[in-house]
């Protein structure tokens, strides 16, 4: 809890409330320093595993011989069952925290082939479920949420100051719990940028929905990779930017290209 001043209608009042926590977490793999993530100090094991999987450092949990996370020291030490060459070409993402990714070439991702079809009402309902499950968001309003859904319910929920981290945590927890991410909905409270879209592609999720907007590059990638993108999901309303997984009537007087 923090004490701060709330200013409203020309008056200031001292109040106490939650402020989002953020800390650095330095990840080492087989004794070699890989990178430092700025993140929220929850579900750090899931964050590390999800990030390593997203960056293709690991392909499954079977490759992880050990994982030790120290919140106090801000360290995560990963031991793999084999030697690995860590990627080095770092790309600064468009994340609000200045995230890092190593693989952004869409040619590394196969086009998805999915029979998943969901109604707009399902997407809207699951987005409401995400906000209901986002405990830290309700407390501080300064954090992102992400969730994995089968269309009927939320399977995994994660929160972090970084929207990329939240998605990595979702994948990491799915790995830990043995939950497949293919043919699922990926929900986010943050912007769907190109690297967020590629995370969905890596997970095999054919539909991405967000409370905010996608970028033009994300939409172009979605069209190439056969991923459905829904933005501005608020109440029962939403925008459909790409893909055919959303069951909607034909647009009046318009053709979506």
Q: Which domains does the chain have, with CATH numbers?
A: 23-104 (3.10.20.10), 120-242 (3.40.140.10)
Between the two ends of the chain, the Cα-to-Cα distance in Å is 49
What are the pLDDT digits (tens) for 120-142? 999 999 999 999 998 887 777 77
pLDDT of residue 18: 76
Helices 194-203, 44-54: inter-axial angle, 10-degree rounding? 90
What are the pLDDT digits (tens) for 43-67? 999 999 999 999 999 999 999 999 9
Quote the mean pLDDT of the chain.
89
pLDDT exceeds 90 at position 245:
yes
**253 or 225: which carries more pLDDT confidence?**
225
Active site residues: 96
Q: What's the whole-model pTM score?
A: 0.88
Please name the residue ranges forming H helices in 120-191. Answer: 120-133, 135-140, 163-177
Q: How many whole angstroms separate alpha carbon 184 and alpha carbon 250?
A: 24
pLDDT mean over 98-102: 53
What 3-state class would DSSP assign to 42?
coil
Question: For residue 246, what are the β-bridge partners?
Answer: 118
Q: How many whole angstroms separate alpha carbon 186 and alpha carbon 98?
A: 22
Question: What is the maximum alpha-carbon separation in the chain?
Answer: 62
pLDDT exceeds 50 at position 257:
no
pLDDT exceeds 90 at position 211:
yes
Q: Token pair of 128, please?
A: 């409401």
Q: For residue 211, what are the CA distances in angstroms to 53, 149, 158?
A: 26, 15, 16
What 3-state class would DSSP assign to 34?
strand
pLDDT exceeds 90 at position 103:
no
pLDDT of residue 64: 98
Among residues 127, 111, 124, which one has the least CA distance to residue 198?
111
């Amino acid at each position: 809890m923090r004490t701060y001043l709330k200013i409203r209608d020309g008056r200031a009042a001292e109040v106490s409330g939650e402020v989002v926590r953020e800390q650095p977490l330095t990840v080492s793999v087989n004794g070699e320093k890989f990178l430092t993530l700025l993140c929220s100090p929850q579900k750090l094991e899931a964050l590390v595993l999800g990030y390593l999987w997203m960056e293709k450092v690991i392909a499954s949990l079977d490759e992880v011989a050990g994982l030790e996370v120290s919140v106090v020291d801000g360290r995560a030490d990963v031991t793999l069952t084999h030697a690995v060459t860590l990627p080095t070409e770092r790309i600064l993402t468009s994340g609000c925290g200045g995230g890092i990714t190593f693989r952004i070439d869409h040619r590394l991702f196969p086009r998805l082939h999915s029979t998943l079809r969901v109604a707009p009402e399902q997407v809207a309902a699951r987005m409401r479920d995400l906000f209901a499950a986002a405990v830290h968001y309700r407390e501080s309003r300064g954090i992102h949420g992400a969730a994995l859904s089968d269309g009927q319910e939320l399977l995994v929920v994660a929160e972090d100051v970084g929207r990329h981290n939240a998605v990595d945590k979702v994948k990491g927890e799915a790995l830990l719990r043995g939950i497949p991410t293919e043919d699922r909905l990926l929900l986010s409270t943050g912007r769907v940028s190109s690297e967020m879209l590629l995370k969905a592609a890596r997970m095999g999720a054919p539909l991405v929905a967000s409370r905010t907007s996608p970028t033009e590059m994300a939409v172009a990638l979605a069209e190439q990779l056969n991923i459905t993108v829904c933005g501005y999901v608020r109440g029962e309303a939403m925008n459909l930017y790409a893909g055919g997984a959303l069951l909607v009537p034909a647009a009046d007087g318009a053709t979506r290209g």
